[in-house]
Structure 1
Amino acid sequence: MKKLNLFTFLLLSILLSCSSKQQPQPFAKGEFKTWAQTPPMGWNSWDCYGPTVEEHEVKANADYMAENLKAFGWEYIVVDIRWFVENDKAGGYNQTDPRYVIDEYGRYQPAVNRFPSAKDQNGFKDLADYVHSKGLKFGIHIMRGIPKVAVENKLPIKGTDGITADQIYSTELQCPWLRDNYTIVADKPGAQEYYNSIFELYAGWGIDFIKIDDLSRPYHQGEIELIRNAIDNCGRPIVLSTSPGETPIEAAGHVSEHANMWRMVDDVWDTWPHITHLMDICQKWYPYIAPGTWPDCDMIPLGRISIRGERGNDRMTRLTPDEQYTLMTLFTIFRSPLMFGGDLPSNDAFTLSLLTNKEVLKMHSESTGVKQLFQEDGKVAITSSNPNNGAIYLALFNISDEEAPLQLSVNLNDLGIEGECSVTNIWTGENVGNFAGEFSCDLAAHASGLYIIRK
């Protein structure tokens, strides 16, 4: 065997070293749960811009978050649906003549007329860099499956030996409300490679968060596993949010082993029945609230929404102030991810106050043992505790439509409290008083109270 001279040996060693450094290193099984130890908090473009958001609007919301919300734990900026369509519309989707932007491997690219920095096949890299420069994180939305145009044009799948898009798809279980993609048949050769290829692309752009739609109803276990594998092997931590609801409770064990957050309901908008329906559904999911894996109440439809949205006209939220407190109290004590849906630069002082209450956000990030005490006769009580300081949290809700206020009472022994304790209203900071045995309060219809109790 011919011996290598020293120069050749060193050159080969350097090349092999460089090559190995370029290969993404897979994450250990379950490591993804360390990426969201507290519920993710951020902004999503859907409620205010639907499928039409543009780069300058994303940057404006990132600027606002960096200046006003970052110090309170808000960090994600997420571009929602159909960023790859040049001619989408408000109030629904253009499914008549959409102009898709797609690369040679069947992977969607940002529409340059909406995202100018994506020119020259730059993708979202520059926009992600801008968001990162603010100390924030950047996310995108995609639909489950493979683009129909990739199938129709038999585009090759990167990382395979000649497999094309038309060899891995099925028309079965195609999304009924947005028909851009076909189902990927999970056990087909090339299926894993396609998902690997898109997450390789996203990792190169600097994506930190991905919301994937049409995964939960029906529950697409095969594609969810392909996605989990692809993220774990792309070399970049990318928080995974599955959407929309209703995720079946029978899949709770599986989804909590594959996603960081998952939707429990369909889209939550600014009407009272959406909130009461969410409270009903939450009852199933308390046992699955855990670091790294979070049942998701959906986006927060507060502030200015539907600028070019799917539902209704440009408006400030239709929820009353009491109903807004109720929504935020439920989301925070339940420890749902918090994804604000309104246009942040349009916030008024009241909306900003709902997002920046330090004690409420402390409860949201640090509490444990979240459980419902009761839900009956229009009355709901939820509690949790803070292992860091021994505080006990209590949320009370009047979800009835009756005009007369309701009195809500909680036996303090049910909270593990014997003897006297002090109660403080967390939203206002007001000292409510000292109590023993029982705590009661009167709440108007659709109103709530959020309290911190100290022994």
Structure 2
Amino acid sequence: MNVIISKFLAVYLSILSLSAFPDTASLRKNKQVPPPGFHTWAPTPPMGWNSWDCFGPTVVESEVKANADYMAKYLRPYGWEYIVVDIRWYVANDKTHGYNQHNPEYTIDKYGRFLPAENRFPSSKNGQGFKPLADYIHHRGLKFGIHIMRGVPVIAVKQRTPVKGTNVTAADIFSMKDSCSWLSDMYTVDASKTGSQAYYNSLFELYASWGLDFVKVDDLSAPYHADEINMIRNAINHTGRKIVFSTSPGETPVAFAADVTSKANMWRVIGDFWDRWNQVDEHFDIFERWNKWRKPGAWPDGDMLPLGKIGIRAEVGSPRMTALTRDEQYTLMTLFAIFRSPLFFGGNLPDNDSFTLSLLTNHRVLEVLRNSTNNRQLFKDSSHVAWTADNPRTGEKYLALFNRTNHTIKIPVELLQIGVNQQHYKVTDLWTGKKSGMLSGKFQPEINPHGTGFYKIQ
């Protein structure tokens, strides 16, 4: 009898607890329980491909799939995973070297949300949106991302499209204040107006239904739009889907560093970055400025890597393999790795040559990107720069040396500065894998013009 009573009480208490305490998803929907920490969604710097540097606003579905196929075959084992469709995928008649702002043919739904242009993304027909393309990418073990513009479409405001789930329209939530100065697609969403958060919620509900894993939101961080960043953060949380959030363009004002770190997974710290040495060199000052704001899940972003075959139908230049020399490409990859910037490749992956592929698949360099700690600049002047970091598992030290001049120089380093106390030490060149014997004395390797030396010292 006691056993029967005990079982009855257990069932009764179970039913009581279910009625008294709703499930976590319900609580989250009602904002009683915070969502899981979004910083855990990008524990290491995100790595992927973005269509902008090679195709500008004109990329088509077959090109996206070709890059996904390449990444799945050659890069996924090294941690590369995101495939991102950049700007204006909703315009059927966009153009290279700028944007068609004269007579754009928009694709938009009844709730004022842009949809993929069907002539460019045929699988989106019949209201399927990007879900078929996202499924294609997911089936290859990769993740899918898109670029969007901050705000609500101008065409939605003019058509007074309803905001899903509300009694207001797009015309009730917009403001012309602070609208984008370089693209006329959008108006600002005024956070003080009823329905504004609901609009962003509906936007990300749609994206989540497509299977989105990554969103790059443009015209958001320079100047800094704190209200819309907050609404986007809330909207992503509301979906319950892990969508990594990247803000653009840069430089994000350092005055807002604490806020953006608390809201986004990555944020731009520089304007659009192309294949010019002076723009590579600019990163030394910028990365020094932003170094203290990095933490797991929140990454200062040095922009896309203008490497490989770029400019196919892009904003800047004609079709070309990157204009950066091989030494400059090593410098770029080394600096991004030891700073731990996200890596988003800008070239058309199927056009990669063996050298470009080698830049993306060096496991020793990518280990520094993913797992190093205590990353910091040692010294910098007009001719040379040094960065260092630690291997937290082994205690080994990483050292990156950079030659900013047009001639070969030796860069001396006192290894005590990086915590190497022994008289004799071993050096591994991280790019070549070449190991030295036991060395002693000052470390002063010779570095090529605009080149780098990247080492593990033990």
TM over 0.5: yes
1:159 paired residue number: 165
Q: Does the 8 A contact of 1:400 with 1:445 survive in 2?
A: yes
Q: Which amino acid aligns with 1:292?
A: G
Greater mean alpha carbon deviation, residues 368-377 or residues 223-232: 368-377
User: How do 1:356-375 and structure 2 match up within 5 A?
Assistant: 356-375=361-380
**78, 98, 104: which one aligns with 2:104:** 98
Cα deviation 1:233-263 (Å, max 9, x = unaligned): 1110000000010101111100000000000
Residue 406 (1) aligns with residue 412 (2): no
| Cα distance change of structure 1 residues 422 and 27 upon mapping to structure 2, 3 Å threshold | farther
Q: Distance in 1 between matches of 2:126 and 2:35?
A: 36
Cα deviation 1:359-413 (Å, max 9, x = unaligned): 1111110101110001113110001111122221110001123xx3222111111
Greater mean alpha carbon deviation, residues 377-386 or residues 194-203: 377-386
Q: Distance in 2 between matches of 1:274 and 1:248?
A: 19
Cα deviation 1:73-96 (Å, max 9, x = unaligned): 000000000000000001110000
Structure 1 residue 442: deviation in Å? 1.6
1:311 paired residue number: 316
Q: Distance in 1 between matches of 2:365 and 2:86?
A: 27
| Cα distance change of structure 1 residues 149 and 247 upon mapping to structure 2, 3 Å threshold | same
Q: Distance in 1 between matches of 2:235 and 2:387?
A: 37
Residue 450 (1) aligns with residue 454 (2): yes
Q: Which amino acid aligns with 1:443?
A: I
Q: Distance in 1 between matches of 2:447 and 2:291?
A: 24
User: How do 1:346-425 and structure 2 match up within 5 A?
Assistant: 346-401=351-406, 404-419=407-422, 420-425=424-429
State the secondary structure of the residue aligned to 2:217: strand
Q: Distance in 2 between matches of 1:442 and 1:84?
A: 50
User: How do 1:23-422 and structure 2 match up within 5 A?
Assistant: 28=34, 31-160=37-166, 162-401=167-406, 404-419=407-422, 420-422=424-426
2:14 paired residue number: none
Cα deviation 1:9-47 (Å, max 9, x = unaligned): xxxx9xx99x97997999835610000000000000000
Q: Distance in 2 between matches of 1:97 and 1:297?
A: 33
Q: Does the 8 A contact of 1:379 with 1:399 survive in 2?
A: yes
Q: Distance in 1 between matches of 2:147 and 2:32?
A: 23
Q: Distance in 2 between matches of 1:168 and 1:309?
A: 33
Q: Does the 8 A contact of 1:418 with 1:436 survive in 2?
A: no
Q: Distance in 2 between matches of 1:26 and 1:411?
A: 55
* Pairs aligned (count): 436
Q: Distance in 1 between matches of 2:416 and 2:434?
A: 23
Q: Distance in 2 between matches of 1:427 and 1:65?
A: 21
State the secondary structure of the residue aligned to 2:263: coil
Cα deviation 1:185-238 (Å, max 9, x = unaligned): 112111100100000000000000000001111100000000000001111000
Q: Does the 8 A contact of 1:109 with 1:123 survive in 2?
A: yes
Q: Which amino acid aligns with 1:85?
A: V
Q: Distance in 2 between matches of 1:132 and 1:24?
A: 30
Structure 1 residue 439: deviation in Å? 1.3
| Identity between Structure 1 and Structure 2 (%) | 56
Structure 2, unaligned stretches of length 5 or more? 1-18
1:9 paired residue number: none
Structure 1 residue 444: deviation in Å? 2.3
Q: Distance in 2 between matches of 1:279 and 1:436?
A: 29
Cα deviation 1:389-447 (Å, max 9, x = unaligned): 2221110001123xx32221111111111112111110001124433453111212201
Q: Distance in 2 between matches of 1:193 and 1:235?
A: 15
Q: Which amino acid aligns with 1:65?
A: M
| Cα distance change of structure 1 residues 29 and 133 upon mapping to structure 2, 3 Å threshold | closer
State the secondary structure of the residue aligned to 1:395: strand
Q: Distance in 2 between matches of 1:139 and 1:25?
A: 26
Q: Does the 8 A contact of 2:29 with 2:238 survive in 1?
A: no
Q: Which amino acid aligns with 1:39?
A: P
Q: What's the Cα RMSD here?
A: 1.9
Structure 1 residue 283: deviation in Å? 1.0
Residue 434 (1) aligns with residue 432 (2): no
Q: Which amino acid aligns with 1:177?
A: W
Q: Distance in 2 between matches of 1:435 and 1:326?
A: 25
State the secondary structure of the residue aligned to 1:65: helix
Q: Which amino acid aligns with 1:445?
A: P
Q: Does the 8 A contact of 1:24 with 1:234 survive in 2?
A: no
Q: Distance in 2 between matches of 1:21 and 1:123?
A: 30
Q: Does the 8 A contact of 2:129 with 2:210 survive in 1?
A: yes
Q: Does the 8 A contact of 2:27 with 2:33 survive in 1?
A: no
Q: Does the 8 A contact of 2:35 with 2:240 survive in 1?
A: no
Q: Which amino acid aligns with 2:337?
A: T
Structure 1 residue 170: deviation in Å? 1.0
